[in-house]
């Protein structure tokens, strides 16, 4: 029998009109395709747009606006990614769906930067976003006729649930006041997360096989982690480009880059490419735990722009200090939750606790507000100590730190 990669339909018509995979048709040996990598690249642009806006408005309002728009982008990525993971094929139909989504996402990026504070861009963002989620929901609805009655009913409930946030976002397009629009968007995000939690935390054995996290799913989550980590590099480059470059400024930029290195080492040595333990609870914690982590990594990159620009100050500006240290604390706590869902390993036994200690340390550094270079160095050292403890523990057990 032909494999998924070889193609199971011999005709051109079948290649473009073949059915989606039904729930339960999980491809355990599936690898992430070049098309999925291309799809994720569109989110590089989207996240860069909103991170750039935050870097120019390091304030509580700026953080609020960034978090709301980022969460909407995450919802779009999650729905599009899981549809292809669970139902996509290597055929013309799946490719056409992804390219259609990418077209709408590219247009969404045009409005994303000031979607939260501009009436015109907010309206454009709301219209395109509602169309995008409606299109993805229509894709999910198309799976129903290939499913068992139980799974078809679940899909129908999902689409019905998605109609609520779609309606809220679509309604916001006719609202002229940005703050009122943000309230509707926040309601849409809340409803989506509650609906997702109700599905993935539901202890139903019939759903376990259809919705389990495979290695390819874990790889997609790792790829988006790489995308948001890129914002740390962008933050350093933008900060050095806009600041008056001298020895201290350049040194601050280089030290700030090591914060991103610390994020990378901890995530990919403890989590990257590893599915969580079986079970609805661990799956839900693993999935939802990535949202605050990704959001905070991108916010850190935006904060680094200001950190580098103020490299010559004796103390880090209050808003900048809290943005970077608060984001680092959120990353550490989110990662602690995600690590706790991994299969048990003696080398990683203490990691959730050391990450929690790192989060507390980051908050204390925010309160102290040392100079930018000292703040960056202290955060980088704090993150490195988490990894060093795990490395030493792996040495005692005789295993490599990246091994399961």
Distance, in Å, from the CA atom of 40 to the CA atom of 146, rounded to the nearest integer, reads 28
State pLDDT tens for residues 120-151. Answer: 999 999 999 999 999 999 999 989 888 888 88
* Residue 283 vs residues 75, 148, 278, 293: alpha-carbon distances, Å: 17, 23, 7, 16
Angle at 154 between CA 74 and CA 32, to 5 degrees: 45
Residue 116 gets which letter from DSSP? Answer: T
The reported pLDDT for the residue numbered 153 is 83
In whole angstroms, give the CA distance from residue 32 to residue 187. Answer: 33
Q: In percent, how much of the chain has pLDDT > 90?
A: 73
pLDDT at 244: 87
60-108 pLDDT tens trace: 999 999 999 999 999 999 999 999 999 988 888 899 999 999 999 999 9
Higher-pLDDT residue of 28, 344 = 344
Q: Worst-scoring range by mean pLDDT, 15-24, 107-116, 261-270, 283-292?
A: 15-24
* In the chain, where the domains are located: 31-208, 215-397
Residue closest to 164 by CA, chosen among 128, 144, 194, 199: 194
Euclidean distance between CA atoms 38 and 167, whole angstroms = 29
Supply φ then ψ for residue 33, to 5 degrees.
-90, 165
Q: Is residue 294 scored above 80 in pLDDT?
A: yes
* pLDDT of 9 above 60: no
The pair of structure tokens assigned to 311 is 């490299």
pTM (2 decimals)?
0.93
Contact 71, 189 (CB under 8 A): yes
Q: At 13, is the pLDDT very low, low, confident or very high (cuts 50, 70, 90)?
A: low
The distance from CA 45 to its chain's CA centroid, rounded to whole angstroms, is: 14
């Amino acid at each position: 029998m032909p494999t998924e990669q070889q193609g199971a339909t011999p005709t051109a018509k079948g290649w473009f009109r073949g059915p989606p995979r039904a729930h339960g048709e999980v491809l355990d040996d599936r690898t992430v395709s070049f098309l999925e990598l291309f799809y994720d690249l569109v989110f590089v642009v989207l996240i860069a747009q909103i991170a750039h806006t935050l870097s120019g408005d390091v304030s509580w309002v700026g953080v609020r606006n960034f978090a709301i728009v980022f969460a909407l982008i995450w919802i779009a990525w999650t729905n599009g990614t899981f549809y292809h993971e669970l139902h996509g094929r290597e055929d013309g139909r799946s490719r056409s769906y992804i390219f259609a989504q990418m077209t709408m996402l590219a247009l969404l990026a045009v409005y994303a930067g000031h979607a939260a504070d501009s009436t015109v861009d907010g309206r454009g963002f709301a219209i395109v976003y509602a169309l995008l989620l409606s299109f993805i929901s229509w894709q999910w609805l198309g799976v129903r006729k290939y499913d068992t009655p139980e799974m078809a009913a679940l899909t129908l409930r999902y689409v019905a649930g998605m109609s609520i946030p779609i309606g809220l976002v679509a309604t916001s397009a006719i609202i002229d006041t940005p703050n009122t629009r943000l309230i509707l968007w926040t309601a849409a995000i809340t409803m989506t997360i509650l609906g997702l939690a109700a599905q993935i935390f539901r202890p139903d054995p019939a759903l376990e096989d259809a919705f389990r996290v495979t290695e390819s799913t874990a790889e997609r989550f790792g790829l988006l982690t790489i995308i948001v980590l890129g914002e740390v590099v962008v933050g350093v480059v933008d900060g050095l480009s806009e600041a008056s470059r001298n020895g201290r400024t350049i040194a601050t930029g280089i030290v700030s880059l090591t914060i991103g290195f610390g994020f990378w080492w901890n995530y990919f040595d403890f989590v990257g490419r590893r599915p969580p333990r079986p079970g609805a609870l661990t799956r839900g914690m693993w999935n939802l735990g990535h949202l605050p982590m990704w959001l905070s990594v991108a916010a850190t990159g935006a904060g680094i722009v200001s950190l580098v620009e103020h490299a010559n100050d004796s103390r880090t500006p209050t808003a900048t200090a809290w943005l970077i240290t608060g984001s680092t604390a959120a990353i550490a706590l989110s990662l602690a939750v995600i690590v706790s869902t991994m299969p048990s390993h003696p080398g990683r036994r203490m990691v959730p606790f050391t990450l929690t200690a790192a989060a507390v340390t980051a908050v204390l550094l925010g309160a102290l507000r040392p100079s930018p270079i000292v703040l960056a160095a202290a955060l980088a050292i704090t993150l490195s100590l988490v990894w060093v403890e795990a490395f030493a523990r792996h040495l005692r057990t005789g295993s490599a730190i990246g091994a399961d």
